[in-house]
């Protein structure tokens, strides 16, 4: 933008806002806007005004998204987030007014200092994570975390994060990295692998990766990845592994280096689960045993690799096809379940790290409780039981620090998930009353055939969901009124579909194909005549029809498997929600519930299709018998 253009924009904005604000000068500019300092004439305070460039503002859809996302960001009230005072349009310009930060950006500080002291890096990263955690709880994802958007205010250099939600607003029209106008969303140097890969759905862990890149640069003086071109840089974000921080800066504390490197994991499920978990890790200063996975597992985008959530069958009319992913022994159904093998969930869905700590806690309480009782009996003049309790307690506190840094809390230790074979009556959310049982009676053995095990797994997951809802406080339970009815409805339909599939497997499919093949071979061995050719042609068409029906049956079974995965996924997400707090991740969990509801509607169509396939199998079988 040349000087004449700059002057024209400033003059135009000044005239449009002259009744309320007096422009003082330009503070900075970027791909998403120009920022001016100004004085609020009514409130007598200094403010900053960001305006969307005219070359973007002429697009109606971009103006609408800009304003909507700025309004969303205005709801964020936090000491480390720049406040937004007003959003509006004037003289064809879209703008928002935010608090003025008297200081410098982190980018400017890095240009002067190159590397920052480790303790300052810890503080800046912790305060930024605190701001991100609050924004994520409100459903706002930054998508452009970088040194330019982290401001350092005053002599204490208090962190103030700016530009919340703007990149997200502009990305809605494209595939995650470009808008319809071809403007890059985010900065390639600080993009997460999922942003670089063009994922449509970016969650809060993308911001955690970007913050890890910023912390890495503060510690080492340089971003981890460089390339001559933007595509080359994006490819490195996806596939290359950053050098360990301690290799480049040996004096960096071990816990800080490990915390930053975990942020830089290529697969989102291997990073810190939330920004709050990252903040707690930085505060605790506990070096958590950490096994890096990036070197052997580069990021794979969801369409071609493992989805974060098991994919569901595509509904008619969806824009993008969705592939049904088979169940895996470990990994994609939940962020917590996808961690390293040290935290791998047991069959009941409980992580190993939680079970181990509970076992240690039980031993501590039982042994020291017995020693205390014995000490009381023999006289408390000399509290000798403390000689064992104190060092043991210190070790237990250290274990709890590791548990906390892994993203778990005392709730996970106290509230043990139910066994898979415990099937209590589920509660009506918020009322404490039992829901009516499923309409189907307990099935007899063999009713579902080879699908019996998967139906049993769904029952166990349903029971676990009911138990978690029962343990939630009433206020939180009232925020999840649709969960249990949604699971029950999906399970009822899935069981009906399993019965239909089992009926298809009862003998017609293989027997019909065998008889059909025998008759075709018998006719092929005969001498040619018109009647033989007619019957042979008819039987071949019937074999082709039977093969197509068998293929359709496989597609219907894939939808049943999606039901199993969806309920399992909802169970793990509910466990995570309970640990983090319902209000923190309610938006994401509500989206998962809506996905299950959509699948339930799809299963109705699958049941109808399965019945049709069964009828067609019968017709083909009767035709085979007739010939």
- What Å distances lie between residue 54 and 23, 63, 66, 144, CA to CA? 18, 10, 13, 21
What's the rounded Cα separation, in Å, for the pair 408 and 336?
9
Query: Under DSSP, is residue 181 helix (H, G, I), strand (E, B) or coil?
Result: coil
What is the tens place of the pLDDT at every residue in 33-50?
789 999 999 888 999 998
Is residue 189 within 8 A of residue 146, CB to CB? The reply is yes
pLDDT at residue number 580? 56
Which ranges constitute the DSSP H helices of 472-507? Answer: 474-477, 483-504
pLDDT at residue number 263? 95
- What Å distances lie between residue 358 and 343, 393, 410, 454, 582, CA to CA? 14, 14, 10, 30, 23
pLDDT at residue number 576? 61
pLDDT at residue number 256? 95
> 345: which DSSP letter?
B
When pLDDT is averaged across residues 149-156 and rounded to a whole number, the result is 86
Q: Which residue has the higher pLDDT, 422 or 105?
A: 105
What's the rounded Cα separation, in Å, for the pair 566 and 563?
5
pLDDT at residue number 439? 38
Beta carbons within 8 Å of 90's beta carbon, 6+ residues apart: 16, 17
* pLDDT > 50? residue 298: yes
When pLDDT is averaged across residues 161-188 and rounded to a whole number, the result is 52
* pLDDT > 50? residue 581: yes
pLDDT at residue number 421? 37
Element (H, E) at 224: none
* Residues recognised as catalytic: 144
* pLDDT > 50? residue 415: yes
Beta carbons within 8 Å of 143's beta carbon, 6+ residues apart: 167, 168, 171, 185, 186, 195, 202, 206, 207
């Amino acid at each position: 933008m040349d000087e004449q253009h700059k002057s024209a924009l400033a003059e135009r904005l000044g005239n449009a806002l002259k009744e309320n604000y007096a422009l003082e000068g330009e503070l900075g500019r970027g791909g998403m806007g120009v920022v001016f300092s100004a004085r609020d004439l009514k409130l007598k305070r200094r403010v900053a005004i960001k305006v969307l460039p005219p070359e973007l503002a002429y697009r109606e859809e971009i103006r609408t998204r800009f304003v909507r996302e700025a309004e969303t960001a205005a709801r964020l009230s936090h000491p480390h987030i720049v406040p937004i005072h007003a959003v509006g349009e004037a003289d064809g310009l879209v703008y928002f007014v935010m608090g003025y930060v008297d200081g410098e950006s982190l980018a400017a500080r890095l240009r002067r200092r190159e590397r920052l002291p480790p303790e300052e890096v810890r503080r800046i990263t912790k305060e930024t994570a605190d701001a991100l955690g609050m924004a994520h709880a409100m459903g706002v994802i930054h998508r452009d975390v970088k040194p330019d958007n982290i401001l350092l205010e005053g002599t204490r250099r208090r962190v103030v994060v700016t530009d919340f939600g703007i990149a997200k607003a502009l990305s809605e029209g494209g595939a995650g990295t470009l808008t319809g106008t071809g403007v890059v969303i985010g900065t390639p140097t600080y993009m997460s692998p999922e942003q670089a890969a063009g994922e449509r759905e970016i969650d809060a862990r993308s911001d955690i990766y970007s913050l890890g890149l910023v912390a890495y640069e503060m510690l080492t003086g340089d971003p981890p990845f460089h390339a001559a071109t933007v595509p080359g840089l994006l490819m490195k974000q996806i596939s290359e592994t950053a050098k360990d921080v301690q290799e480049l800066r040996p004096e960096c504390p071990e816990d800080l280096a490990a915390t930053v490197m975990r942020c830089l994991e290529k697969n989102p499920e291997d990073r810190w689960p939330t920004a709050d978990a990252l903040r707690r890790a930085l505060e605790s200063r506990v070096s958590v045993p950490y096994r890096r996975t990036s070197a052997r597992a580069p990021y794979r985008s969801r369409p071609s690799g493992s989805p974060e959530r098991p994919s569901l069958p595509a509904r008619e009319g969806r824009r993008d096809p969705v592939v049904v992913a088979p169940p895996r022994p470990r990994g994609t159904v939940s962020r917590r379940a996808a961690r390293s093998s040290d935290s791998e969930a047991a069959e009941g869905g409980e992580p190993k790290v939680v079970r181990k700590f509970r076992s240690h806690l039980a031993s501590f309480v039982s042994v020291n409780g017995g020693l205390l009782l014995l000490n009381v009996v023999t006289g408390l003049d000399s509290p000798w039981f403390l000689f064992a309790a104190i060092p043991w307690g210190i070790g237990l506190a250290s274990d709890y620090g590791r548990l906390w840094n892994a993203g778990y809390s005392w709730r996970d230790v106290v509230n043990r998930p139910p066994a898979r074979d415990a099937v209590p009556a589920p509660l009506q959310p918020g009322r404490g009353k039992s829901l009516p049982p499923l309409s189907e009676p307990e099935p007899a053995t063999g009713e579902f055939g080879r699908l019996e095990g998967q139906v049993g797994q769904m029952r166990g997951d349903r029971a676990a969901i009911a138990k978690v809802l029962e343990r939630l406080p009433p206020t939180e339970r009232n925020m999840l009124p649709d969960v249990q009815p949604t699971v029950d409805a999906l399970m009822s339909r899935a069981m009906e579909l399993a019965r239909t599939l089992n009926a298809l497997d009862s003998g017609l499919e293989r027997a019909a194909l065998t008889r059909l093949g025998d008759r075709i071979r018998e006719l092929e061995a005969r001498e040619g005549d018109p009647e033989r050719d007619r019957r042979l042609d008819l039987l071949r068409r019937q074999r082709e029809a039977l093969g197509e029906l068998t293929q359709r049956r496989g597609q219907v079974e894939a939808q049943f498997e999606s039901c199993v995965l969806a309920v399992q996924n909802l169970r793990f997400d509910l466990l995570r929600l309970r640990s983090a707090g319902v209000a923190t991740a309610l938006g994401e969990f509500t989206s998962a519930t809506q996905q299950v509801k959509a699948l339930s509607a799809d299963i109705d169509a699958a049941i109808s299709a399965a019945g049709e396939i069964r009828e067609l199998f019968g017709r083909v079988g009767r035709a085979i018998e007739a010939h």
